[in-house]
């Protein structure tokens, strides 16, 4: 692993940890305190960080997911400002949020496989 890759991973981990702590301690919206950061990817030039999020308790409806991401985007400026001293970079990456639907897709695939299995058992 080269030095640039290690640095990017370290910065991604710092962003993940800081944003998670910030959402729990500095945000008044109870819905956002239930947000979990599942992944952080950073562009090669360190200009943008994409944060994948999920809700801890309930994944909610599509409208609730969109509202959650929208609220996080509204907070992005404050988050960037609070990240500046933590990261020690000349320029803090722009934060972009997206709802992580990977687990939902995994559950759908598992359900389909179970259905196929049960169809096989019935036809045997």
Domains and CATH numbers, the chain: 3-123 (3.30.300.20)
> What percent of the chain stands above pLDDT 70?
86
pLDDT of residue 79: 93
Q: Are 112 and 44 in contact (CB under 8 A)?
A: no
- Which pTM does this prediction carry? 0.76
What is the pLDDT, as a whole number, of residue 77? 93
Q: How far is CA 90 from CA 16, 46, 116, in A?
A: 19, 10, 54
Q: What is the DSSP letter of 93?
A: P
> Using one digit for the tens of pLDDT, what is the confidence trace for 44-71?
899 999 999 988 766 667 788 888 899 9
pLDDT at 107 over 60: no
Would you state the pLDDT for residue 4? Answer: 77
3-state secondary structure of 27: coil
């Amino acid at each position: 692993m080269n030095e640039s890759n290690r640095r990017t991973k370290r910065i991604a981990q710092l962003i993940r940890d800081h944003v998670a702590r910030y959402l729990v301690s500095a945000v008044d919206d109870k819905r956002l305190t239930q947000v979990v950061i599942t992944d952080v990817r950073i562009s090669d030039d360190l200009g943008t960080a994409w944060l994948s999020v999920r809700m801890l308790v309930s994944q909610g409806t599509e409208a609730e997911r969109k509202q959650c991401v929208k609220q996080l985007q509204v907070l992005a400026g404050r988050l960037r400002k609070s990240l500046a001293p933590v990261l020690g970079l000349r320029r803090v990456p722009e934060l972009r949020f997206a709802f992580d639907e990977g687990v939902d897709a995994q559950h759908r695939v598992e359900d389909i496989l179970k259905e196929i299995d049960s169809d096989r058992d019935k036809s045997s």
